[in-house]
Amino acid sequence: MIERNLAPNLNIIRPDAPEEIPVFDLGPYLLGEAGAMEKLGTELRYALENVGFYFIVNHGLDQALIDRTFAAARRFHDLPLEEKLALKLNEHIRGYQPMKGAVTRHSAVNANNLPNVNEAIFFGPELVDDHPDVLAGKPFRGHNQWPSDLAGFREDVLAYTAAAQAVGVSLLPLYAHALELEVDFFLRGFKEPSFTFRMSHYPQTEVLQDNEFGLAPHSDTSFMTLLPENEVPGLSIRLPNGRWIDAPVLKGSILVNGGDMLRRYTNDRFLATPHKVVNRSGVERYAIPFFMDCSYDFVMECLPTCQSPSNPPRYEAFSYADYRAFYRASNFGPTLAATTA
């Protein structure tokens, strides 16, 4: 259901305010109003070339489901540690990662990071036992790991990931217009989207050491990340001019950003803007980012509108599986990487 009344008076941020995060009202576009796609696509181009982040409102993702999913994240992280550790993160990047269990090694912004002060559980597409990729043992195509005694948790996660994926797919024609491509261009590569869904817990941390963060400065790996409004602050974004800004709280919104896969796909035309998390709010902070990517085997070649004789492709063609393997090896170290080598 599209809730047209969430933010009726929001103004789209224009290029005369380049250090603001643009806000896009999807209502007219989702209702199929004439000219809405073209207008938003043009504004999206500016946002991804100059900021790398944007808000969407009236996006169609039910707020009650978002609220239940935040509550599910809290319920999971309230479980005894031994129950969470039984779901230890595996080679498919699915399962539980304990507090300070990861170091952001792939950051181009901040070196020598200490372990991140957060804990998280990761999920991907729910695949049946006889799915060909499961039978073939393909990396990143294993089963999700679910807590054994948390009523309704699995159902809420699956409902949320399906709804978030639908929002992401609904944005693809806007990306095509922004890049001067046929409106259905990206739908070809997203017939069965890959995704990583992370449910994170950031404890209140008033005092941190140097190079210690809730989540160290980094850029996402994804084509697109969807992050629902968080009432607890902590996220900061590094603009292209090097200035850090705190992400504002915008009721009913989803914050969207591009990641390294989108950046490579567009030959560095669209940004993968670094960001970090530090929770000094005085309360526990939970986050539910949804990282959406193309189909598992789809090969991303430099887009035709992002290259020219004077601007040749900077990257070789790559698939989701290729890039995830690179990321796993660089960010998680040899332990997980060796498991499926």
pLDDT, residue 19, reads 57
Q: Return the CA Rg of the chain.
A: 19
Spatial distance between the Cα atoms of 55 and 43, rounded to a whole number of angstroms: 12
Q: Which amino acid is at 286?
A: Y
pLDDT, residue 338, reads 36
pTM for the predicted model, two decimal places? 0.91
Spatial distance between the Cα atoms of 235 and 215, rounded to a whole number of angstroms: 9
pLDDT, residue 112, reads 76
In this structure, the number of other CB atoms found within 10 A of the CB of residue 236 comes to 16
Instruction: Provide CB contacts within 8 A for 323, sequence distance 6+.
Output: 221, 260, 261, 264
Residue in the structure block whose two tokens are 């009721």: 251
Residue in the structure block whose two tokens are 């929002």: 167
Instruction: Give the CATH H-level superfamily of domain 23-339.
Output: B-lactam Antibiotic, Isopenicillin N Synthase; Chain (2.60.120.330)
- How far CA 190 is from CA of 118, 138, 173, 187, 223, in Å, comes to 31, 18, 12, 5, 11
Instruction: Provide CB contacts within 8 A for 89, sequence distance 6+.
Output: 95, 96, 97, 101, 122, 336
Round to the nearest angstrom and report the end-to-end CA distance of the chain. Answer: 44
pLDDT in tens, the chain (341 residues): 223 223 333 333 343 444 589 999 999 999 999 999 999 999 999 999 999 999 999 999 999 999 999 999 999 999 999 999 999 999 999 999 999 999 988 767 777 789 999 999 999 999 988 999 999 989 999 999 999 999 999 999 999 999 999 999 999 999 999 999 999 999 999 999 999 999 999 999 876 888 899 999 999 999 999 999 999 999 999 999 999 999 999 999 999 999 999 999 999 999 999 999 999 999 999 999 999 999 999 999 999 999 999 999 999 999 998 888 887 777 655 445 433 32
pLDDT, residue 332, reads 59
Return the beta strands (E) in 239-277 as ranges. Answer: 244-246, 254-257, 275-277
Closest CA to 332 of 196, 202, 157: 196
